[in-house]
Amino acid sequence: MDSIIVKGGAELNGEIPIAGAKNACLTLMPATLLTDAPLTLTNAPRLSDIATMTELLRSLGTEVSALQGGRVLTMSSHALGKPRAEYDIVRKMRASILVLGPLLAREGRAEVSLPGGCAIGARPVDLHLQALSALGAELDLRDGYVHATAPNGGLKAGRIAFPVVSVGATENALMAATLARGTTVIENAAREPEIADLARCLKRMGARIEGEGSSTIEIEGVDALDGATHPVVADRIELGTYMLAPAIAGGSVECLGGSIALVEAFCERLDAAGISVEETPRGLKVARRGDRVGAVDVETAPFPGFPTDLQAQMMALLCTADGVSTLHETIFENRFMHAPELTRMGARIDVQGGTARVTGVPRLKGAQVMATDLRASVSLILAGLAAEGETQVNRVYHLDRGYERLEDKLRAVGASVERVRGS
Which distant-in-sequence residues (6+ apart) come within 8 Å of 141 by Cβ? 114, 129, 147
Shared domain for 279 and 209, answered yes or no, is no
- Residue 39 pLDDT: 98
Determine whether 96 is exposed, middle or buried from the number of CB atoms within 10 Å of its CB (0-12, 13-18, 19+).
buried
Shared domain for 48 and 196, answered yes or no, is yes
| Annotation: binding site for phosphoenolpyruvate | 22-23
Shared domain for 14 and 26, answered yes or no, is no
Domain boundary among 208, 231, 254: 231
Cα(107)–Cα(183) distance, integer angstroms: 20
Cα(312)–Cα(71) distance, integer angstroms: 28
Shared domain for 307 and 405, answered yes or no, is yes
Give residue 14's region: left, alpha or beta (phi > 0; psi -120 to 50): left
Q: What is the residue range of 224's domain?
A: 22-231
Shared domain for 76 and 211, answered yes or no, is yes
Shared domain for 181 and 260, answered yes or no, is no
Cα(220)–Cα(180) distance, integer angstroms: 8
Query: Mean pLDDT across the stretch 337-361?
Result: 96
Q: Structural domain tally of the chain?
A: 2
Cα(105)–Cα(101) distance, integer angstroms: 6
Amino acid at residue number 297: D
| Annotation: binding site for UDP-N-acetyl-alpha-D-glucosamine | 94, 123-127, 309, 331
Helices 374-385, 311-318: axis angle to 10 degrees equals 20
SS3 420: strand
- Residue 17 pLDDT: 96
Cα(19)–Cα(124) distance, integer angstroms: 29
Nearest to 373 by CA among 339, 410, 344, 346: 339
Cα(273)–Cα(8) distance, integer angstroms: 21
Given 25, 118, 255, 267, which residue is catalytic?
118
Amino acid at residue number 270: L
Shared domain for 110 and 132, answered yes or no, is yes
Shared domain for 288 and 355, answered yes or no, is yes
Cα(401)–Cα(364) distance, integer angstroms: 27
Reply yes or no on whether the pLDDT at 397 is more than 90: no
Nearest to 398 by CA among 423, 377, 420: 377
- Residue 335 pLDDT: 82
Reply yes or no on whether the pLDDT at 192 is more than 50: yes
How many residues belong to the chain?
423
Question: Is 94 within 8 Å of 116 (Cβ atoms)?
Answer: yes
CATH code (residue 147): 3.65.10.10
Domain boundary among 177, 211, 231: 231
Cα(35)–Cα(99) distance, integer angstroms: 13
- Biggest CA–CA distance in the chain, Å, is 67
Please tell me the pTM assigned to this model. 0.88
List, in sequence order, the alpha helices (H) in 236-386.
236-249, 264-273, 311-318, 339-343, 374-385
Higher pLDDT, 121 or 181: 181
List, in sequence order, the alpha helices (H) in 234-310.
236-249, 264-273
Cα(30)–Cα(102) distance, integer angstroms: 7
Shared domain for 194 and 183, answered yes or no, is yes
pLDDT tens-place string over residues 30-40:
999 999 999 99
Shared domain for 244 and 335, answered yes or no, is yes
- Residue 253 pLDDT: 98
Query: Mean pLDDT across the stretch 369-375?
Result: 88
Shared domain for 222 and 93, answered yes or no, is yes
Reply yes or no on whether the pLDDT at 386 is more than 50: yes
Reply yes or no on whether the pLDDT at 117 is more than 90: no
Query: What percent of the chain shows pLDDT beyond 70?
Result: 98
Shared domain for 220 and 156, answered yes or no, is yes
End-to-end Cα spacing for the chain: 6
- Residue 423 pLDDT: 66
pLDDT tens-place string over residues 49-62:
999 999 999 999 99
Whether 201 is a known active-site residue: answer no
Query: Mean pLDDT across the stretch 182-207?
Result: 97
Domain boundary among 231, 255, 276: 231
pLDDT band at 121 (very low <50, low <70, confident <90, very high): very low
**According to the 3-state scheme, what is the secondary structure of 114-167?**
CCCCCCCCCCCCHHHHHHHHHCCCEEEEECCEEEEECCCCCCECCEEECCCCCH
| Annotation: binding site | 22-23, 94, 123-127, 309, 331
pLDDT band at 116 (very low <50, low <70, confident <90, very high): low
Reply yes or no on whether the pLDDT at 120 is more than 60: no
